[in-house]
Structure 1
């Protein structure tokens, strides 16, 4: 008899497994990636995004993967910590670099991207990184398609599945199909969504029987089944798995299937999409998954979970970045109750205020800052004393050291320093 996972006592609601990268988003909207001159940095990668998205919606989430022993790896770890994501499963790989992705918004629904993932840290995930006690501490895991593309990461995810099934928890499969990460498209084809492959289909089909929830776009449902049309794909998946299947349909919303698949594609729980401006489609699926998991793991019916998922996806496509732009639960509830007169949700001041107010993670009740940015005043003092003005910078170094000693590493302390005399400080 398996030991059931009790939702009341499991420390974590969900552990996501797989990709973790630094996304560099082009700031010149409507430009080719070749013409981008500046980028905004954020956490990226399907499982990393979902870990942030679910945390913002109130779930206790964790990410299990590897990052490099360098600045980008530390950036991911620190950002996840700020978001309230558990990082006990985030391993540091001293031999490999953290993955990078360069992206641009060239046109509506067109976002060229280049993956810098050659022998990257997260793809080195191995079975020894999967700690049984850590997996067993969660109600569910999310395994992702890309990490079934390599033998080591495939074995790692399958080990996590075995542990979760033995403990009576839930296994969620985000098909997450990126053809060029399976070696089926060139480096410049990072945005390519579908390339038929019997090899990939055969690999993914072996995952399906162990799943409780399977989520994918029409293209992803087809690659996971090996079928050439969506309805046949759904029927093939159903023949292999009793899991709840969620078909993502972009602006059209989604359909949730339990039980037999009929000949009518619409014969499921239909979740309608929201009429919003499509600004950037990248990361929308991860936001969708976050919203669906919030409902599904929270015991809501499929219609509610689908509504939350579609709304979270709408937020994502109406904003530029991935994880940093995902809604909090307060933001989601406000939108569902009040809607928005803006098709571009990023232009809704009321929603933006809630987003800003509810994503400030550090509660600092007081702030003390030592102003040491004086320039003319200290130059006058030096002149009157006949001292070399160059000594002003030495004074400011001493001031910063004194302030740091008083702060002793505690939050709520700061300094105001000028560039002219304070650069050394």
Structure 2
């Protein structure tokens, strides 16, 4: 069993996509009626990296971006958030960066994702083979990176290298159906990946999906714990979360907030939990801080730009109340 206190080194190696998000402006505008948009860094892994950096950690991203103006925009945004991009490679040809065109609306939110020829799927074994794993405190990835080759094989190789180095491996399920050839393939690959990880975080729908049956997600989470995961966090939206460890299960509520949109909660939750563990806080407090970060981000425009700073997070938690489980 790995020593999770290694996370206190605060240096995270994150595998996965960086992209561009377009938000219909002003908030509340429907996409089909929009005449103005604002741009921001996007992509689940890049969002997590931005959140970690905002909360005082170091984060290095491993991915590929397109060798064009959109790819260069993403590189510039990584720099702006203080994300180490030495392991980000530009690829030419027909590869294109992920683009999300989304609404800042709570009800009937529309999000149109462009992923044809996604540049991040071009990540290869060579991109992960020579990474300085021993110099980091944890390896983090999201499920999107596993949706296609060669990035799938590269990610699994990174898991093997990290495990060989005793590096905690953290997996955000992050299931996006549009990226996969079939639901069965995704379920099989995700289950294989989760079995290699020390911390697994996902929502009830994603765990149901991995289990292959509605209502069986919590059983799947318990199975992963029994098979070797040290922490499994089963998120349930407005119903809070269940944190599973070998010592037992703990239920946590959510913070009250005036939400503008449903997006960004998962990435901010991950950043809040990991940054708290990196500070040496106990798991229960880490989950509460992750929940607070999620509540803050859904009440703001964007994902990466909405991530809180330590002072903002502390102020929010001092003033906000948590709904009981």
Q: TM-score, normalised by structure 2?
A: 0.90
**Residues 133, 167 of structure 2: 8 Å contact kept:** no
Change (3 A) 1:138 1:110: farther
Q: Would you identify which runs of 4 or more consecutive aligned residues in structure 1 move more than 4 Å?
A: 2-8
The alpha carbon displacement at 1:163 in A equals: 1.1
Partner of 2:156: 158
Does residue 296 in structure 1 map to residue 306 in structure 2?
no
Q: Which has the larger radius of gyration?
A: 1
What does residue 256 of structure 2 align with?
275
User: Over residues 2-59 of structure 1, what are the superposed CA-to-partner deviations in whole Å (9 max), with x where a residue is unaligned?
Assistant: 9999668x6x611111121100011143343222221110000100000000010011
Could you tell me how far apart the structure 2 residues matched to 1:3 and 1:234 are?
21
Structure 1: how far apart are the matches of 2:7 and 2:187? 33
After superposition, residues 137-286 of structure 1 pair within 5 angstroms as: 137-183=135-181, 197-229=183-215, 230-259=217-246, 268-286=249-267
Q: Distance in 2 between matches of 1:296 and 1:5?
A: 8
Asked if 1 retains the 8 angstrom alpha-carbon contact of 2:67 and 2:90, the reply is yes
Structure 2 residue ranges without an equivalent (≥5): none
Matched, 1:330 2:311: yes
* CA-to-aligned-CA distance 1:60-100 (integer Å, 9 cap, x gap): 11111011112221111112112111111111112222221
Match of 1:71 among 58, 69, 72: 69
More relative contact order, 1 or 2 (CA 8 Å, 6+ apart):
2
Q: What is aligned with 1:364?
A: none
SS at match of 1:295: helix
Cα shift readout 1:250-282 (whole Å, capped 9, x = no counterpart): 23332210028xxxxxx7222221111121111
CA distance in 2, matches of 1:338, 1:200: 41
CA 268–239 in structure 1, closer or farther in 2 if over 3 Å, else same = closer
Matched, 1:319 2:318: no
CA 1:251–1:151: 2 relative to 1, 3 Å: same
Gaps of 5+ in 1: 185-196, 261-266, 341-425
Question: Which secondary structure does the structure 2 equivalent of 1:210 belong to?
Answer: coil
Equivalence for 1:353: none
What is the aligned partner in structure 2 of residue 367 from structure 1? Answer: none
Whole-angstrom CA distance in 2 between matches of 1:79 and 1:252? 34
Q: CA deviation at 1:173?
A: 0.4
Q: Give the Cα separation in 2 of the matches to 1:179 and 1:296.
A: 31
Aligned residues: 318
CA distance in 1, matches of 2:174, 2:7: 27
Q: In 2 relative to 1, CA 238–318 (structure 1 residues): closer, same or farther, beyond 3 Å?
A: same
